[in-house]
């Protein structure tokens, strides 16, 4: 089941660079593991912003919630989830 997610990141300006770097490293590892497992289908950077549009493929709303609240950057994010479904015009098998 697919979900469209927008994440906007706001890391506090006074966070020590080292702490921020480490946090981003953990975020990247966490994201890549989920991408490889297939749960995090796509991630794109929004040009000019510290934000992304992502597509998740999970079994339930709860599975999505656990993934999102587990993000190392979650405390610094504003997240908006939109449930998707297959479009009648789609010709791709993996748009479901």
Using CB under 8 A, list all residues that contact its own copies: 1-5, 12-13, 27-28, 31-32, 35-36, 42-50, 52-53, 55, 60-62, 64-65, 68-69, 75-76, 79-92, 95
8 to 36, 61, 73, 87: CA distances (angstroms): 23, 20, 10, 26
Among residues 36, 34, 45, which one has the least CA distance to residue 6? 45
Minimum distance from CB of 31 to its own copies (Å)?
A: 5
Minimum distance from CB of 96 to its own copies (Å)?
A: 8
Among residues 23, 17, 4, which one has the least CA distance to residue 84? 4
Nearer to its own copies (CB atom), residue 21 or residue 46: 46
Minimum distance from CB of 72 to its own copies (Å)?
A: 12
């Amino acid at each position: 089941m697919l979900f469209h997610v927008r994440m906007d990141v706001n890391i506090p300006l006074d966070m020590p660079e080292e702490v921020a770097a480490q946090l981003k490293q953990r975020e990247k590892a966490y994201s890549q593991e989920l991408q490889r497992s297939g749960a995090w289908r796509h991630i794109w950077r929004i040009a000019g912003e510290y934000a992304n549009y992502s597509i998740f493929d999970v079994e339930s709303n709860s599975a999505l919630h656990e993934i999102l609240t587990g993000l190392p950057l979650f405390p610094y994010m504003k997240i908006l989830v939109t449930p998707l479904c297959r479009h009648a015009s789609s010709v791709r098998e993996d748009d479901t």
